[in-house]
Amino acid sequence: MIILGIDPGTATTGYGVIEKGNSLKMIDYGCIRTTTDCSTAERLNTLDKELSKIIKKYKPSKIAVEDIFFFKNVKTVIKVSQARGVILARAAKTKMQIIEYTPLQIKQAVTSYGRADKNQVQQMVKLLLNLKQIPKPDDAADALATAICCANSTR
């Protein structure tokens, strides 16, 4: 089973593709980036186009998306919500199963501790996927953690 994990953002959206068989295997990871010199509409359109390419390339069985849990900055939550809307709409068009996880659920699934810090999550992603180094940037590592959460939550 191929799982696409997504860490939403307007400037940077992380993605991680894993395969769940007898063990977990990393297939690909990276980020979809947009620039501040584009309008919000253009940035969201870029996100949609790039995500569509990733879905077509890897044909995941499931798409796992990090949910918004808490933000101190209202402007940030609005921007991330807009990106999540584009991601969820694109995923729905593919007719694939979409599963949303809170950051707490992801940390719990990856580290067995819901309050784990970013480094602990990254170290466990590296370990669980048998990688030589921590995936960079952080958004991609978070997306891989989201995919791992889905894999560990699926029978």
| Domain enclosing residue 11, as ranges | 2-153
pLDDT of res. 155: 65
Q: Which pLDDT value is given to residue 91?
A: 94
Question: What is the domain count for the chain?
Answer: 1
CATH number at residue 132: 3.30.420.10
**Residue 52 above 70 pLDDT?**
yes
Backbone angles phi, psi at 100, to 5 degrees: -110, 140
DSSP code per residue over the chain: -EEEEEE--SSEEEEEEEEESSSEEEEEEEEEE--TTS-HHHHHHHHHHHHHHHHHHH--SEEEEEPP---S-HHHHHHHHHHHHHHHHHHHHTT-EEEEE-HHHHHHHHHS-TT--HHHHHHHHHHHTT-SS--SSHHHHHHHHHHHHHHHH--
pLDDT confidence band for 114 (50 / 70 / 90): confident
pLDDT band with cut points at 50, 70 and 90 for residue 71: low
Average pLDDT over residues 129-144: 96
Report pLDDT for 61.
95
Task: Using the predicted structure, report yes or no on whether residue 17 has a pLDDT greater than 90.
Answer: yes
Predicted confidence at residue 148, as pLDDT, reads 98
- Quote the CA–CA distance of 60 and 97 in Å, as a whole number: 9
Give the residue-averaged pLDDT of 49-73. Answer: 90
Distance CA 125, CA 131 (A): 8
Please state, in angstroms and rounded to a whole number, the distance separating the CA atoms of residues 63 and 88. 9
Q: Which sequence positions are flagged as catalytic?
A: 7, 66, 139
What mean pLDDT is predicted for residues 87-113? 94
Band of pLDDT at residue 19, cut at 50, 70 and 90:
very high
